[in-house]
Amino acid sequence: MRDYLHDLSRPSSPGHAAFPRTRLRRNRRWPWIREMVQETRFVAANLIWPIFVIEGTNRREPIHSMPGVERLSIDLAAQAAEEAANLGIGAIAIFPVTPQEKKTEDGRHACDSKNLICETTRAIAAKTGNRIGIVCDVALDPYTSHGQDGLLRDGYVVNDETIAVLCEQAVNQAKAGATLIAPSDMMDGRIGAIRDALDESGFQHIGIMSYAAKYASSFYGPFRDAVGSAKNLASGDKKTYQMNPANSEEAIREVELDIAEGADIVMVKPGMPYLDIVRRLHDSFPVPVAVYQVSGEYAMLKFASQANALNEQSVVMESMLAFRRAGASAILTYYAKHVGQWLAE
């Protein structure tokens, strides 16, 4: 044994040269030193909590593909935002579940100042003041009868015509009190157009968090159940505008353009299967990166925990650390409230 150790410690043995004098386990010996040398941490302020909102009052509905997540009526959503603010959570992201009868080919309801996302924004702003950020999603899928994020012409989602509606939608949300506008539609050029539209309407101070590297992922399945767009989309997909999961170089181009057009924060979505993209963007651009732990990731963690295959709190907290280690500043997660509570314990 002695000879073996000696052998490894020879300078001619690269990587092992310093053993046995160097022992990395020394810095792992006690809790105090593990915490002292810990390279990344996260706090509740790093979190953004996506919530699903329905019409009515005092109503909550379970989402079967996302156990533990509920669709909430506006009053309960405002209450949830208040709880999140008290936990120090950075922001809340509102996703409206639009009643089918309000969905149309052109998704016009997106621009109605009395739609669900605007009413919820006002209710949350009234209850929380500026103690928590209010993120509003810009895309037409909650409002279109076909479930696509943009306008459909001959089966194709048209870019420039869609942008005109997105600009109106963004200004509509800003007027209701949104504090961060989050375009998730992946049309080309929409960040610049939305920036101009916001500025022209006096919303120079309202930031844009771009879903810049958003992939055409199968991990969005439960979300589409939650907002009820799955049946509208039917056999359709979003591959003509969302990114190919095989691509990484292209994420650089997407983000380069979005920054040039005025994005304040750029997002990678989904999260855990795309940590390489988070790291790459963080290393390539001096702009904050957000990451979205999407519905399918939530479902994986939740169902495995329910089956006692995983310890829920440990794996969720580990996933938060992994996002931070990869370089994310903001983490969108359906676990935000739980994480906030676990951090407060």
What pairing do the DSSP bridges indicate for beta strands 289-293 and 265-269?
parallel
Could you identify the residue written with the tokens 């500043």? 329
Smaller CB separation from ligand PBG, 203 or 334: 334
Dihedrals phi, psi of 171, to nearest 5 degrees: -65, -40
Report how far residue 117's alpha carbon sits from residue 134's, in angstroms, rounded to the nearest whole number: 10
Q: How far is the CB of 148 from ligand PBG (least distance, A)?
A: 9
Residue 159: Cβ within 10 Å count:
17
**CB of 251 or CB of 294, closer to ligand PBG:** 294
Instruction: Kindly give the interhelix angle for 249-261 and 190-200, rounded to the nearest 10 degrees.
Output: 20
Q: CB of residue 88 vs ligand PBG: minimum separation in angstroms? A: 23
| Residue 44, token pair as written in the block | 């509740």
What residues make contact with ligand PBG under the rule CB under 6 A? 137, 139, 141, 149, 184, 220, 223-224, 238, 294-295
CB of 170 to ligand PBG, least distance (A): 13
| Burial readout 13-30 (b: 16 or more C-beta within 10 A, e: otherwise) | eeeeeeeeeeeeeeeeee
If the CB atoms of residues 22 and 240 are measured against ligand PBG, the closer one turns out to be 240
Alpha carbon of 41 to those of 265, 297, 320, 326: distances in Å? Answer: 20, 21, 9, 12
Q: Indicate the pairing of strand 151-153 with strand 70-73.
A: unpaired
Q: Of how many residues is the chain composed?
A: 345
Of 71, 46, 21, give the one whose Cα is nearest residue 293. Answer: 46
Phi/psi of residue 30, each to 5°?
A: -130, 155
Quote the least distance from Cβ 196 to ligand PBG, whole Å.
Answer: 21
Task: Considering the complex, state which of residue 16 and residue 108 has its C-beta at the smaller distance from ligand PBG.
Answer: 108
CA 288, CA 158: separation in Å to the nearest integer?
30
Considering 103, 238, 269, 302, which one is annotated as catalytic? 269
Q: Which is nearer to ligand PBG, 102 or 224 (CB)?
A: 224
- Please state, as a whole number, how many other Cβ atoms lie within 10 Å of the Cβ of residue 104: 14
- Which residue among the candidates 214, 238, 302, 337 is catalytic per the annotation? 214
Catalytic residue list contains 269: yes
Residue 103 is a catalytic residue? no
Read out DSSP for 281-292?
Answer: HHHH-SS-EEEE
Of the two residues 16 and 224, which places its CB atom closer to ligand PBG in the complex? 224
CB 5 to ligand PBG: min, Å: 51
CB of 220 to ligand PBG, least distance (A): 4
Which tokens sit at 151?
A: 């306008």
Residue 38: CB minimum distance to ligand PBG, A? 29
- Asked whether 92 and 135 are in contact (CB, 8 A), the reply is yes
For residue 220, which phi and psi values (nearest 5 degrees)?
Answer: -90, 0
Whose Cβ is closer to ligand PBG: residue 220's or residue 335's? 220
Active site residues: 214, 269
